[in-house]
Amino acid sequence: MDGRLVPGAGGAFETINPATEEVLGTAADASADDMDRAIAAARRAFDETGWATDHAFRARCLRQLREGLRRRADELRELTIKEVGAPRFLTFGAQLDAPVDDLAWFADLVEDYGWERDLGRAEPMGMPSHRRVVREAVGVVGAITPWNFPHQINLAKLGPALAAGNTVVLKPAPDTPWCAAVVGEVIAGETDIPPGVVNVVTSSDHALGARLTQDPRVDLVSFTGSTATGRNVMASAAGTLKRVFLELGGKSAFVVLDDADLRAACSYAAFAGITHAGQGCAITTRILVPRERHDEAVEITAGALAKLGAGDPQDDRTICGPVISARQRERIEGYLELAVKDGGAFACGGGRPEGRDRGFWIEPTLITGLTNDSRAAREEIFGPVLVILPHDGDDDAVRIANDSPYGLSGAVHGGDVERARGVAGRLRTGTVSVNGGVWYGADVPFGGYKQSGIGREMGVAGFEEYLETKSIAEGV
């Protein structure tokens, strides 16, 4: 905080390995006073330094941060596997390496972006004027992040916010404080980022982030998490009319058309749906298959899930590791009970895997026999739980896919690419994969329709969330 590594006024709290329940160590437990000091430091750094206006300096600092994190990649990889329960293979992608490398894209964008646009001369109301439009930083950004992909989400906020010239107070989830604290350590010790520009506030108190939404010194809040919490963030920020960017939940559909390779599509849906134990907002957890091939699709999907299983995140072959906590496991088990009450059945899974007495484990699960209006089919479970639903052709598949309060992501698999592309174009979601296409990337905007959020993260659109627009006219 403010360029220094300091203990939390609240002491320290434990961080737990979700695969073993082992106590990994402790993190600084910040208090409300600590948060107040972090906000004050960010405000001061924005108002009293040249950080916001020195584009070349910011680009250099972002590259320093990238290199500093890359030098510590081995340490960060092991930390992420242990603290997050992330499968090792994912740390070579979205759980670590990809978001670190993405910082270079934002550094390049700082240098290439059109910060000023000349509108030329005009004579509004007969008064000769030369007009221009400039883009500049919003100010102090409060970033509130979840535990499921901590490096990706922390850096997806820090990268564009810093590139745009803002200062940041980052409040990470209590479940994964170390992942954020190491980034703060690298910033303080291995970059020229000035004191106060980045302040990482770890705390066991989930509610501490609410102070960012209420404090008038904070100009923008960027929140990633559940839709329910996002509503509270938005309501809390209304008191100061600050800008709010929300990346929220999803219940995304994986649409299999009747001309698709059913085995390939359902096997891929199984893999995608339980990666990182299904703990991703954009993961496709509703599988929509042609009604006439429903039973065959169930057999293929269930077989793939059973083969993948749940395994040690340290193992290179593991796709589905543990869920993050006992509380999250209990929440998932509650949805499994609801599914049975609503008439559903488990084609595979439905409980805790045998032989794993320590750690927070749920078997990869496929639920059949539900309709799209059941709670397990409509609400975000955030676990390795898939629901398979029949459809009666393209129009019906689109109707079911869009019959959701969410609109974050989706997928379409079909033999005729033009037809699959047409179905994808009718889905009311922020991102869509067609036949296995990967939309993730620093240059690709990510965000949702409907109750999946407001605004975009990543890409130029995500960068511009952190900018203000100023129009200037000079008399001539």
Number of residues in the chain: 476
- Give the helix ranges, DSSP H, for 192-293: 210-214, 227-237, 262-274
> Strand, helix or coil at 288?
strand
Reading the block at residue 232, the tokens are: 């509270």
Find the angle CA(402)-CA(405)-CA(409) to the nearest 5 degrees.
60
CA distance 260 to 133: 49
Cα 457 to Cα 45, 157, 247, distances in angstroms = 24, 8, 8
Q: Which amino acid is at 377?
A: A
Residue whose tokens read 């803002």:
166
Pair 87, 318: CB distance under 8 Å: yes
Catalytic residue of the set 67, 75, 185, 247? 247
Give the DSSP letter of residue 319: S
* 3-class secondary structure per residue, 47-110: HHCCCCCCHHHHHHHHHHHHHHHHHCHHHHHHHHHHHHCCCHHHHCCCCCHHHHHHHHHHHHHH
Catalytic residue status for 337 = no
CA distance 112 to 418: 35
DSSP conformation letters of 2-49: TTS---BTTBEEEEE-TTT--EEEEEE---HHHHHHHHHHHHHHHHHS
Pair 151, 96: CB distance under 8 Å: yes
Nearest to 448 by CA among 286, 285, 282: 282
Q: Are strands 243-247 and 129-137 parallel, antiparallel or unpaired?
A: unpaired
CA distance 334 to 470: 50
E-assigned strand segments in 108-251: 116-122, 129-137, 140-144, 167-171, 198-200, 220-224, 243-247
E-assigned strand segments in 145-265: 167-171, 198-200, 220-224, 243-247, 252-256
Catalytic residue set: 247
